[in-house]
Structure 1
Amino acid sequence: MRAAGGIRYAPATRVGFDGGMASEPITVSIRREVDPDRIAEATVWVQTGVNLANRYPGFLGSGWVRAGDDSTVWHMLYRFSDEQTLAAWEDSPERAWWLEMGRGFVRDERAKRRTGIEGWFDDPPTGSVPSVTDAAEPAALPAAPPRWKQAVSIWLGFFPVNLVFALLMAFVPGWDDVPLALRVLATTLVLTPIMTYWVLPWVTRMLRNWLVPAA
């Protein structure tokens, strides 16, 4: 679909798990082609979009790169905690205003989404962009690591965190007298956000070269 000003918007393609409103983190990969005569303006525009998104609940991070100083094809990633928080950003008046401001120099936009556990293992690109063989193709999300590597990474984060929590709770008077179901409930309520927002991102960064070996 082509909007006013020449921007062509393609429907975002979901990659991974489907089924209703997803509660898993969602990674959105965007390929944008910009006017070569307005690179500096586009740079400020992109950073403005990042700053706006950062103000919304559920925003987990973003990154953007271009192949070189004169490159007109830019690749961007951003992540939200779930479908609802992503929709709040994508349907917001701030994002609509931001897109309107970019219509004069953004020639083309393509997006893909990835939901589920694979999104935890996507890092915003920091030093390179995927090779572009066809300007009509949307930007490709990084290939997810094998499932067994994902499982190992999660275990490496979960085991020490769970162990430390269990050791600390042993000093809480009456903890052992609490029914098992309530102890498990309390444990998961505390550890789930810790794993999602701090431990897993750190583990995947530390294991980046093992999870996704350099070609």
Structure 2
Amino acid sequence: MSEPITVAIERQVDPTKQRYALSWVRQGIDLAHTYPGFLGSGWVQVRPGSDTWHMLYRFDTAANLHAWEASDERRLWVDAGADFAREASVERRSGIEGWFDSAAGEGVEGDRVEVRAAEPVPPRWKQGVVVWLGFFPVNVVVTLLLGLIPGFADVPVVLRLLVTSLVLTPIMVGFVLPAVTRLFRPWLLRGRD
């Protein structure tokens, strides 16, 4: 099952066109609301009057995110802002931090959005324990199975590790870590305010 994905975009906005840019942002948010799996969006400025704006949006699955990002409507909307809003960077949170995020992390206040975790993030040592609990047994099984391949033990260690990591990574990211995180969520969040 696919996990929610948050996309964070930093844009440089022409300071002489900020009112127009605000209207453009609202139009983009309204448009995204019409797409399946849309979980929320918003924007913040670094400080009042700043030309650096941070925008984000979140979808429930990678497929729904792709449908939005590949849509003609979104392309036309982005093109409409090209004269005053330049994309500086894009980040997709689908890595390990995303496994510990809550699906409800955006709180709307007026025209602006304050991004805050609905649940506190667990301490790093607990995150490490959960990752290890998922990784160790899968690593043992994959290592034993690959060891059954005739001649695999004679392959240089770097190549064996390369093959093992290529097999393990999609298994861990796609199945094991999301499942282990859900299983241990009560323990991960225990004692956190």
Q: How many residue pairs get matched?
A: 140
The CA distance in 1 between the partners of 2:39 and 2:189, in whole Å, is 18
Structure 1 residues 188, 151: closer, same or farther in 2, change over 3 A?
Answer: same
What's the counterpart of residue 169 of structure 1? 146
CA deviations over 1:3-29 (Å, ceiling 9, x no partner): 25x8277xxxxxxxxxxxxxxxxxxxx
Q: Cα 1:180–1:191, aligned 2, differ >3 Å: closer, same or farther?
A: same
Q: CA separation in 1, counterparts of 2:33 and 2:182?
A: 24
117, 128, 133: which one aligns with 2:96? 117
Tell me if the contact between 1:89 and 1:95 (Cα under 8 Å) persists in the aligned partners: no
1:68-83 paired onto structure 2 within 5 Å: 77-78=58-59
The amino acid across from 1:168 in the alignment is L
Give the superposition deviation at 1:122. 1.8
Superposed counterparts of 1:48-87, under 5 Å: 48-50=35-37, 77-78=58-59
Deviation at 1:210, TM superposition (A): 1.4
**Which structure dedicates a bigger proportion of its chain to helix?**
2
Alignment of 1:188-199 (within 5 A): 188-199=165-176
Mapped partners of 2:108, 2:74: distance in 1: 30
**Higher alpha-carbon Rg:** 2
Which of residues 149, 157, 168 is equivalent to 2:134? 157
- What amino acid maps onto 1:138 in structure 2? E
**What is the alpha-carbon distance in structure 2 between the residues aligned to residue 169 and residue 116 of structure 1?**
26
Residue matched to 1:29? none
2:70 paired residue number? 92
Cα drift, residue 193 of structure 1: 1.0
- Provide closer, same or farther for how the CA distance between residues 202 and 115 of structure 1 changes in structure 2, counting only shifts above 3 A: closer
Residue of structure 2 equivalent to 1:140: 116
Structure 1 length normalisation: TM-score? 0.50
**Secondary structure, aligned partner of 1:122:** coil
Deviation string 1:155-189 (CA, Å, 9 cap, x unpaired) is: 00100000001111222111111111110000001
Is the 1:49–1:95 contact (alpha carbons within 8 Å) kept by the matching residues of 2?
Answer: no
Moved over 6 A (4+): 97-100
Residue 98 to residue 212, structure 1, CA distance change in 2 (3 Å): farther
Work out the percentage of aligned pairs sharing the same amino acid. 38
The one-letter code of the counterpart of 1:118 is E
The answer (yes or no) to whether the contact 1:158–1:195 under 8 Å persists in 2 is: yes
> Match for residue 2 of structure 1?
22
Deviation at 1:138, TM superposition (A): 2.2
